[in-house]
Chains A and B, each alone.
Chain A
Amino acid sequence: NAGVMQNPRHLVRRRGQEARLRCSPMKGHSHVYWYRQLPEEGLKFMVYLQKENIIDESGMPKERFSAEFPKEGPSILRIQQVVRGDSAAYFCASSPAAVQETQYFGPGTRLLVL
């Protein structure tokens, strides 16, 4: 049973470009969470999604950031017009619908904005 998959593992973008981060949850998991980890900082919650629904996006900046979890395919975190301050590690976690206490994390995508 494969774990949470994220790709790409590393992403380099120039200021103003778009970044698309993908997350495939564990098999059977329908809840996805995105977190951001800045250097020397703790993980910060960004958004919580179920299939085709955004449950809580209170941790996500209102501008330039968006997330989706379509019926088919991976969850996508999209950052438009990236700035240097977006450089961070972005982690996705998933949990099954029935038991939502434990979240299983992917390896993360390290975004570097030049």
Chain B
Amino acid sequence: SQKIEQNSEALNIQEGKTATLTCNYTNYSPAYLQWYRQDPGRGPVFLLLIRENEKEKRKERLKVTFDTTLKQSLFHITASQPADSATYLCALKFRNNRLAFGKGNQVVVIP
């Protein structure tokens, strides 16, 4: 069955540095991969989508890469700020538009 893995340990990072999160998946070849942000007690908020034929996507201080050979996506937050502290979710699209999510990776940006 499909598996989506994100690091379970929180990432503590100094303000201004680049935070890098990893999403690994097995037993599937998704047409695209998405990253969401989730704050405590709130619903996920869509950040970025990257397709299987795209290597890299950027949006402001966010950058996502997608390596379909390694079955891995990297999510970068450059010049991190305390307001970036949240849990970041990786999601893959399966048939019928359903999304399969990783458990999420918490980021804590220390001022």
Contact = CB atoms under 8 A, between A and B. Distances in A.
Interface of A: 4, 31, 33, 35, 40-45, 48, 55-56, 58-59, 91, 93, 95, 100-108
Contact of B98 (A42, A59, A91, A105): A59
B96 interface: yes
B34 A42 contact: no
A59 to B, nearest CB: 7
B49 A105 contact: no
B96 A48 contact: yes
Given A95-B97, A106-B43, 8 more contacts: A4-B43, A48-B97, A58-B98, A91-B43, A101-B32, A104-B46, A105-B44, A108-B42
Nearest to A92: B43
A43 B96 contact: no
Contacts of A59: 98
Nearest to B36: A105
A42 B96 contact: no
Given A41-B103, A43-B101, A91 B96 contact: no
Nearest to B91: A43
Contacts of A58: 98
18 contacts: A4-B43, A33-B97, A42-B4, A42-B103, A43-B91, A43-B101, A45-B99, A56-B95, A56-B98, A58-B98, A59-B98, A101-B49, A102-B34, A103-B46, A103-B97, A104-B46, A106-B43, A108-B42
B46 A102 contact: yes
Interface of B: 4, 32, 34, 36, 41-46, 49, 89, 91, 93, 95-104
Interface centre among A31, A43, A93, A103 (most CB of B within 10 A): A43
A107 B36 CA distance: 14
B25 to A, nearest CB: 12
A86 B7 CA distance: 26
Given A48-B97, A101-B93, A103-B99, A42 B46 contact: no
Contacts of A91: 43-44
Contacts of B99: 33, 35, 43, 45, 103
